[in-house]
């Protein structure tokens, strides 16, 4: 019996060894085929470390997938290869990815490469199957998105494909594509790659806004694009949404800081609280700023935040001099301590605003330029419904100008030399601080200001 048992084990061992040897020979043969394919298609210039990577890769399917991804990447790189070379690479990428998908159906990368390479090949050939057989390229990409919902690549490629095909898509398909685009644009790298094509495809900034992520950096980029095109109406709309996105982000950061503080992570909580002061000083942000100052644990702060503390303090002291301090006394003291302010600065801020003749008109000489921003202290003759501001100098193509009254944004618009900006915003007959700044870059020089009475 023992002899038979040992013979059975020996026979099984020989069988396993034979299988292992066969697998090894097969893998080596497959690896040589991959190496030959890489040389033949010329992708080693795209990925010089490809051969070394293949030699170290123990998984034959991962090796195939790496070559497939390299082929796809090289087909979309600049400068683009000749069409015949491009088609060869895309065909090879699709074939390799299809084989991996059959063996590894849960591989999101294989599904993505299969769908992307099919799409690019058909697009290059102007193949009408792009529209009539979308399941051949769209299906694998949607499958990839399903398998890896947290990965940006499948959504990025799908969104790019939809943008290219947009005019041919049905209204219903455009709506579903817009939803996917909004999801894809939440990834910063995808946003930078696709925002230009999306704005052109949408046809207007108002339409493009419908797919924007609720992120300050997205609305900041849209401001830049609108300014480059001198589209000041869209610039103004994007800037207002930027402010709203900043405020929403501040609320999220404040909640995170409070959670950290409750959990005992005082160091990270303090940094998160005080980092809120990196936003530009505006009245709309005061609730979050006051809450941050009240809750931030004491202790040494990051030197990188010193400019933010000083900016908020200077802004606050200006309002203290002209109107009233924007924050309660304890918050002002905390801010002054963070900004290392002197007692003289705080005493000067408590002085009453200068008395003088009340006026309904101010000239360009009354403005004070301060680091690219124009500031005007006003003692109006009476309460008013708004003001007009003459623009003496600004670029001929215009500039994005922001008007602030007592720290509150009251107007955002385009301005060019000779314009007269009308700002409709009611105010009382007390002292006021008026500011105008070219927030799109450059300089705006204001002139005469007229009070609009009731």
Beta strands in 119-256 (DSSP E): none
Q: How far apart are CA 363 and CA 378, in angstroms?
A: 11
Residue that is last in its domain, among 349, 369, 403: 349
Model pLDDT, residue 354: 63
Residue 183, domain CATH: 1.25.40
Structure letter (DSSP) for residue 380: B
| 10-residue averages of pLDDT along the chain (454 residues) | 42 38 48 83 80 83 88 82 89 93 94 95 93 94 95 94 94 93 94 95 94 95 96 97 97 97 96 97 97 95 94 92 88 91 74 76 94 91 94 93 96 95 93 94 94 84
Say yes or no: 168 and 44 in one domain.
Answer: yes
Range of the domain at 65: 32-220
What's this model's pTM, rounded to 2 decimal places?
Answer: 0.85
272, two tokens:
């998160």
Q: Estimate the share of the chain in helix, then strand, then coil, as percent rounded to the nearest 5.
A: 65, 15, 25
DSSP E strands, 241-383: 361-362, 368-370, 373-378
How far apart, in Å, do the first and last CA atoms of the chain sit? 113
| Same domain as 194, residue 76 | yes
Q: Is residue 5 part of a domain?
A: no
Q: Does residue 428 contact residue 372 with C-beta atoms inside 8 Å? A: no
- Reference 150, options 186, 118, 115; nearest CA is 186
Same domain, 86 and 159: yes
Residue pair 166/201 in contact (Cβ under 8 Å)? The answer is yes
- The tokens describing 352, both together, are 């009453």
Domain shared by 436 and 319, yes or no: no
Give pLDDT, residue 6.
41
Are 332 and 275 found together in one domain? yes
Q: How is residue 303 written in tokens?
A: 């030197």
């Amino acid at each position: 019996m023992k002899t038979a048992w040992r013979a059975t084990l020996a026979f099984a061992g020989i069988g396993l060894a034979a299988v292992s040897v066969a697998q090894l020979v097969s893998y080596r043969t497959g690896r040589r085929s991959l190496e030959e394919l890489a040389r033949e298609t010329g992708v080693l210039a795209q990925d010089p470390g490809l051969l070394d990577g293949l030699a170290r890769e123990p998984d034959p399917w991962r090796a195939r997938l790496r070559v497939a991804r390299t082929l796809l990447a090289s087909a979309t790189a600049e400068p683009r290869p000749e069409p015949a070379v491009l088609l060869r690479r895309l065909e090879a990428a699709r074939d390799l990815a299809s084989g991996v998908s059959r063996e590894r159906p849960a591989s999101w990368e294989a599904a993505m490469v299969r769908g992307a390479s099919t799409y690019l090949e058909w697009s290059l050939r102007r193949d009408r199957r792009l529209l009539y057989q979308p399941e051949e390229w769209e299906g694998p990409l949607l499958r990839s998105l399903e398998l890896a919902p947290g990965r940006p690549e499948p959504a990025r490629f799908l969104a790019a494909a939809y943008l290219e095909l947009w005019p041919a898509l049905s209204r219903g398909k455009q709506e579903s594509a817009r939803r996917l685009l909004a999801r894809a644009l939440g990834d910063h790298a995808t946003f930078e790659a696709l925002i230009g094509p999306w704005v052109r495809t949408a046809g207007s900034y108002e339409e493009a806004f419908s797919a924007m992520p609720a992120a300050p950096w997205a609305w900041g980029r849209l401001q830049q694009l609108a300014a480059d095109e001198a589209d000041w109406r869209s610039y103004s709309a994007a800037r207002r949404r930027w402010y709203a996105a900043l405020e929403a982000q501040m609320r999220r950061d404040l909640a995170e800081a409070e959670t950290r503080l409750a959990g005992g992570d005082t160091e990270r909580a303090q940094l998160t609280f005080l980092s809120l002061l990196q936003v530009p000083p505006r009245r709309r942000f005061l609730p979050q700023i006051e809450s941050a100052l009240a809750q931030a644990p004491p202790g040494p702060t990051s030197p990188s935040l010193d400019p933010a503390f000083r900016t908020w303090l200077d802004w606050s002291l200006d309002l203290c001099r002209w109107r009233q301090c924007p924050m309660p006394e304890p918050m002002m003291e905390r801010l002054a301590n963070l900004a290392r302010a002197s007692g003289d600065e705080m005493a000067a801020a408590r002085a009453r605003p200068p008395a003088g003749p009340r006026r309904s008109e101010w000239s360009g000489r009354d403005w004070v330029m301060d680091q690219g921003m124009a500031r005007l202290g006003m003692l109006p003759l009476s309460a008013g419904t708004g003001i007009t501001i003459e623009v003496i100098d600004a670029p001929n193509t215009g500039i994005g100008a922001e008007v602030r009254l007592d720290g509150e944004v009251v107007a955002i618009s385009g301005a060019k030399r000779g314009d007269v900006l009308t700002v409709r915003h009611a105010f009382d007959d007390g002292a006021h601080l008026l500011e105008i700044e070219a927030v799109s870059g450059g300089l705006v020089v204001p002139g005469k200001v007229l009070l609009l009475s009731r």
